[in-house]
Chains A and B, each alone.
Chain A
Amino acid sequence: MAGELVLLDFWPSPFGMRSRIALAEKGIPYEYREEDLRNKSDLLLQMNPVHKKIPVLIHNGKPVCESVIQVQYIDEVWHDKAPLIPSDPYQRAVARFWVDFIDKKIYELGSKIWKTKGEEQANAKKEFIECLKLLEGELGDKTYFGGESLGYVDVALVPFYSWFYAYEKCGDFSIEAECPKMIAWVKRCMQKESVAKSLPDQEKVYEFILQLKKVFGIE
């Protein structure tokens, strides 16, 4: 059933991390291939001609693009191991809602925090914290968003933790001070091998952001 599985990815991508975590949670072996986004491989361009982006999951030669679609695909194909998405339709809808919310807000706001300054940055920080607080509300007293085990929302959100240090340094604020419950949840997730091994070191991500800022001429 596993067949040949390849993940085309880029080490700091929170989207790629989602698929890494999903595959690790289910104990599915795969080949990880690092892409140089300034020099994309022929395989990437062939497998994702529409967007030319990572991550791309290639299963028996057939590509699955977009991280949320990959996580759902992985959960459906390897449904008997560590299920990530609830089986009840209403619980699934709730999980999908929050993943959609994360996709619409977290990456874009986070990008604004490291890319901008002044009022634009201040607004982005404010909204970013508001979003995290909404997510804290959804988490409530649960161990994970998925309940007692990692779920779809956990997998979609936790990769952004690897960028928190970069956001904090660029935005001069503390996420833990504003959202302690969120950080407590992150720490629980990081105790899982599937998460810890899939996320890069925060300092490395910060160095990467600093390089990007130089390249883009951002102060």
Chain B
Amino acid sequence: MGEEVKVFGYWASPYSYRAELALKLKGVSYEYINEDIFGNKSDLLLKYNPVHKKVPVLLHNGKPIVESLVILEYVEETWKHNPYLPQDPYDKATARFWIKFIDEKCFPTLWLAAWSAENEREKVTNEACEYLKTLESALNGKKFFGGETIGMVDIVASSVGYFIRVTQEIMGQNLLSADKFPQLFQWSEDFANCSIVKESLPPRDKLLPFVKGLIAKYQQDNAKA
């Protein structure tokens, strides 16, 4: 068919990762362009995402699609095999609910828990734990949020199951632990062990120093303020 599929991303970005995992699950070949998001964003990125100027951007036959969740829905609707969203409208609505919950509540609060100042950390951490508890309830005894196989909720939850876990390791926190959240912990292990996930996640030994550097810089900047 001669389709041109490109992803403008950043190797360490959990949002960028979502777009790549979706394409891999569908077996779609794509060209990956790593953007220097902390330095100089390319003219192409600014052209394709003038409103937010962010990664990821999916380019399909010259047409840009931006925002990771919009990209996920687009990939699902364009390449219909290996579906990762349920067909039934109610089940689809439920999946979208959890996706929104992870994106708007769970992930940002967990991220904040790693970065926040000592005096605020306890409050944010408690909030994060509540969200993790709620997220765990969504698993409801299933192996993945999508059931027997990875679904769209799992793709989005990779932000929590992988990227947050790495961040916590650096911070010496252990929010997503086996004893506190056994089901969720098991899910994150099972998820990271899927071959298609394993081969595409940014490697821990690269990610750890990168996030460490980010946090150190953030703390440095804030200490000056």
The interface of chain A, by Cβ under 8 A from chain B, is 50, 59, 62, 64-66, 69-70, 72-73, 76-77, 89-90, 92-93, 96-97, 100-101, 134
A96 to B68, CA, bound (A): 11
Q: Is B65 an interface residue (CB 8 A)?
A: yes
Give chain A residues whose Cβ lies under 8 Å from the Cβ of B55: none
Given A76-B92, A92-B77, A101-B51, 5 extra CB contacts under 8 A:
A66-B100, A70-B93, A77-B89, A90-B65, A100-B70
Q: Check A65/B74 contact, CB under 8 A, given A76-B89, A77-B89.
A: no
* Count of chain B residues with a beta carbon within 8 Å of a chain A beta carbon: 22
Determine how close the nearest CB of chain A comes to the CB of B32; give it in whole angstroms.
Answer: 20
Task: Flag if B100 contacts A69 (CB, 8 Å).
Answer: yes
Q: Is B122 an interface residue (CB 8 A)?
A: no
Of B51, B60, B96, the contact of A69 (CB 8 Å cutoff): B96
What residue in chain B is nearest A95 (Cβ atoms)? B70
Q: Check A89/B70 contact, CB under 8 A, given A65-B97, A69-B93.
A: no
Task: Flag if A90 contacts B63 (CB, 8 Å).
Answer: yes
A93 to B60, CA, bound (A): 12
Quick one: CB contact mask for B94-123 with A, threshold 8 Å, 1 for yes? 001100110000000000000000000000
Q: Chain B interface mostly helix, strand, loop or mixed?
A: helix
Q: Check A64/B100 contact, CB under 8 A, given A93-B70, A96-B70, A100-B67.
A: no
Task: Flag if A134 contacts B51 (CB, 8 Å).
Answer: yes
A47 to B78, CA, bound (A): 33
Q: Is B66 an interface residue (CB 8 A)?
A: yes
A100 to B89, CA, bound (A): 20
A93 to B69, CA, bound (A): 10
Query: Which residues of chain B from 53 to 99 have any CB-CB distance to chain A below 8 Å in the complex?
Result: 60, 63, 65-67, 69-71, 73-74, 77-78, 89-90, 92-93, 96-97
Determine how close the nearest CB of chain A comes to the CB of B203; give it in whole angstroms.
Answer: 31
Determine how close the nearest CB of chain A comes to the CB of B66; give it in whole angstroms.
Answer: 6
